[in-house]
Amino acid sequence: MEPTLLSVFEQLKEQRAALSSLMAEVCAVRDSLCEIGPKYREILERHRAKHIQGNRELVFSVLQQYDEIIHRLKAF
C-alpha cells in the first residue's frame, strides 16, 4: 500500500502546483479585465453563476466519490 500512497501524493502535489498556477493566471486576467472595462464585473458575475449552476451536479458527484473512497480507506 505504501507505493500506492506515495504515487497518490506525488500526483496530488503535481495537481496542486498546476491548480495554483492556473488560479494565478485566472486572477490576473480577471483583474486586468476589471481595470479595462467597468461592465466586465457584471458580465463576470452572470457567467460565473451560469457555470456554477451547470457544474454543481458534476462537482457534487465527484466530491461524493472522493468521500466514499476516503471512507473505504479509513475502514481499511
Tell me 68's DSSP state: H
State residue 15's pLDDT score. 93
Phi first, then psi: what are they for 39, rounded to 5°? -80, -10
Quote the pLDDT of residue 22.
Answer: 94
Do 12 and 30 have their domain in common?
A: yes
Q: What is the 3-state secondary structure (H, E, C) of 4-65?
A: HHHHHHHHHHHHHHHHHHHHHHHHHHHHHHHHHCCCHHHHHHHHHHHHHHHHHHHHHHHHHH
Do residue 9 and residue 21 come from a single domain?
Answer: yes
Amino acid 3: pLDDT: 83
Per-residue pLDDT of the chain (76 residues; tens, 9 = 90+): 788 888 888 999 999 999 999 999 999 998 898 888 878 888 888 998 998 888 888 889 999 998 998 898 888 7
Q: How many domains does the chain have?
A: 2
Residue 32's domain spans which residues?
1-36
Are 29 and 47 contacting, i.e. CB atoms less than 8 angstroms apart? no
